[in-house]
A = this chain, B = another copy of it.
Amino acid sequence: MISLLDSSLFAGLFAIDEEIAADFDDRRRVADLLEVEAALARAQAEAGVIPAAAAERIAAAAKTLDVDLAALRRSVAACGVPTIELVRQLRQACGSDAAPFVHRGATSQDIVDTASLLALRRAVAKIKVKLKDTAAALIALADGHRQTVMAGRTHGMHAAPIVFGLKAANWLAPFSRHWQRLAELEPRLFVVQLGGAAGTLAALGDRGLAVAAALARELALGPAVPWHTQRDAIVEFGGWLALVAASFGKIGQDVILLAQTDVGEAAESGDGSRGGSSTMPHKANQIASEMMVAAARAVAPLVAALQSAGIRSTSAPRTAGSSSGCWCRRWWR
């Protein structure tokens, strides 16, 4: 066991979403890598870089390949990336005619980065459902408690009276902003990465940008100049997740305070089976709320780690230069 999160005992406590966990499962991630290799072959056929028949063979092989995961694991341990060995297996599976056209002009990071976005996109779709459910629950709480008078408190001291419905409305407010933020960042995040060996697309000659655009279309991602060395959209998304976690943490913190024996103005709903004590059966600890606070506190420092990862050093795109310059000028008016 590496962390509490992969403990089967504590899994229920942290309420890990099993479907989102499955989105990042080893088998699923390998399938994503293969999907990107297949889409790359189709994109290259579309751009006239490789024969259509080869692309079809590659796509078919990618779909049915029975991946040797143990060999992949050894490759990762040796090289840091699964792609080298996976490409080898895929080449073997699609026959000697199509083999040379597998992974053409791409580098490992192109496949890994693009495939990661497919996993993130699946997770984001599920997170959106949860956000809607959360908003619906908070709207119901706000509407249902318009007349539920309680003490307003600031600095832990009684201030003027408020109604509980408006505390719920307050909890709700940031979630509309989170929704809006997500809509804004998605076009920056879900874009293709294709740069080749040194980020220049040089191996694809003058077809580099055409292949990148076609690959984006194949995977329903946005077009983009290579961003492998400029990962601000990933950091931005991590920051967004932490903002959402903090909004849940704030709800949890409020519930804990309102549920104190001395206050008694709220409690987690449920059948009463949660939050028991080994010594004091009368207690009802606010376990779900405590976990929301714990999760928010645990996530905050990870944003700092992501931010630091933004400062790295590698290469730059060649053919993308002028177009990038033009594209940028639009923004700096």
Contact of A308 among B2, B169, B308 (CB under 8 A): B308
- A125 contacts B by Cβ under 8 Å: no
Q: Among residues 299 to 325 in chain A, which have CB atoms less than 8 Å away from a CB atom of chain B?
A: 299-305, 307-318, 320-322, 324-325
How near does chain B come to A154, taking the closest CB pair, in angstroms? 5
Name the distance in Å between A221's Cβ and chain B's nearest Cβ.
16
Asked if A92 CB lies within 8 Å of chain B CBs, one says no
Q: Are B316 and A305 touching (Cβ within 8 A)? A: no
Q: Which of B152, B299, B311 contacts A250 (CB 8 A)?
A: B311
CB distance from A278 to the nearest CB of B (A): 4
CA of A103 to CA of B278 in the docked complex: distance in angstroms? 9
A30 CB contacts on chain B under 8 angstroms: 9
CA distance A48 to B287 in the complex (A): 36
Chain B nearest Cβ from A199, distance in angstroms: 7
Does A64 interact with chain B (Cβ within 8 Å)? no
The 6 closest A-B CB pairs, nearest first, are A152-B198, A12-B77, A167-B316, A301-B301, A300-B307, A246-B310
Given contacts A83-B278, A157-B284, 14 further A-B pairs with CB under 8 A are A2-B16, A9-B72, A78-B287, A79-B287, A136-B332, A151-B261, A166-B200, A170-B226, A170-B229, A174-B230, A232-B246, A249-B310, A298-B305, A300-B307
